[in-house]
Amino acid sequence: MSPTQIVVLVLVVLVVAALVALAVVAGRRRALKQRFGPEYDRVVAERESRADAERELRDRERRHAELELTPLAPEARARYAAAWEELQVRFIDSPAETVSDADELVSRLIAERGYPTGDFSDQIAHLSVDHARTLTNYRDAHEIRLRTDRGEASTEELRQAVVHYRALFADLLGEEPVGHRPEQRRPDSSHDVTSR
């Protein structure tokens, strides 16, 4: 082989290696975007670089893999669905307390599924791996709950908090907590605050 052929061969190998590396990075990025949905964009916006954000998301996946998550038994699912239905009925008479109760019910469900329930940001990080599409709802509900504790939330905000909690609750439960089963439909469905 001539020196020119060797140089051309080395350049071809380097170009192919660079293309393979770019394809691997693009594949990882696509997988992260698909898995984390809007959470991917949120983390990218919060971090100094896309690479830093993607490291954070891969770290979340690694920590999530260490959890021992358990599916809910049918009895537990039914118990949580009944608790949610009762919570919605109580909203009419005590909206602020209902928001607090919704937060506690969601936290109990999160814990029963096997997710940590300590620090809110850690909780969000763990939930983001499997429930990223409902995290905006959860963050909004949490913020309204904090305003509720300070006495700053309006009744409409309280209603919206329950709607937001319901989104994550249904995602964790694996089904809508209050179904519309004809044999169990109440004559007055105006108590379902989340259907408005």
- Interval 5-34: pLDDT, tens: 888 888 888 888 888 777 877 788 788 888
Cβ 102 vs Cβ 168: under 8 Å:
no
Based on the fold, state whether residues 49 and 114 are members of the same structural domain: no
Based on the fold, state whether residues 24 and 94 are members of the same structural domain: no
**Is residue 187 pLDDT above 60, yes or no?**
no
CB atoms within 10 A of CB 169: 27
Mean pLDDT of the chain: 85
Based on the fold, state whether residues 78 and 160 are members of the same structural domain: yes
Q: Domain total for the chain?
A: 2
Based on the fold, state whether residues 47 and 99 are members of the same structural domain: no
Based on the fold, state whether residues 126 and 165 are members of the same structural domain: yes
Confidence of residue 178 (pLDDT cuts 50, 70, 90): low
Q: How far is the C-alpha of 192 from the C-alpha of 89, rounded, in Å?
A: 7
Lowest-confidence segment of 22-31, 49-58, 92-101, 175-184 by average pLDDT? 175-184
Based on the fold, state whether residues 153 and 129 are members of the same structural domain: yes
Based on the fold, state whether residues 148 and 92 are members of the same structural domain: yes
Structure tokens at 38: 């809007």
Q: Please identify, among 46, 65, 84, the residue that sits at the C-terminal boundary of a domain.
A: 65
Based on the fold, state whether residues 180 and 93 are members of the same structural domain: yes
Contacts with 99 (C-beta within 8 Å, 6 or more apart), sequence order: 141, 144, 145, 148, 153, 158, 161, 162, 165
Cβ 139 vs Cβ 124: under 8 Å:
yes
pLDDT score at 23: 80
Q: How far is the C-alpha of 196 from the C-alpha of 162, rounded, in Å?
A: 11
- Interval 98-145: pLDDT, tens: 999 999 999 999 999 999 988 898 899 999 998 988 999 999 999 999
Based on the fold, state whether residues 147 and 175 are members of the same structural domain: yes
Q: How far is the C-alpha of 169 from the C-alpha of 175, rounded, in Å?
A: 9
Based on the fold, state whether residues 109 and 140 are members of the same structural domain: yes
Based on the fold, state whether residues 111 and 38 are members of the same structural domain: no
pLDDT score at 195: 46
DSSP letter for 37, please. T
pLDDT score at 15: 83
- Interval 67-87: pLDDT, tens: 999 989 999 999 999 999 999
**Is residue 40 pLDDT above 50, yes or no?**
yes
Based on the fold, state whether residues 148 and 96 are members of the same structural domain: yes
Handedness of CA 96, 100, 101, 103 (dihedral sign): positive
Domain containing 124 equals 74-195
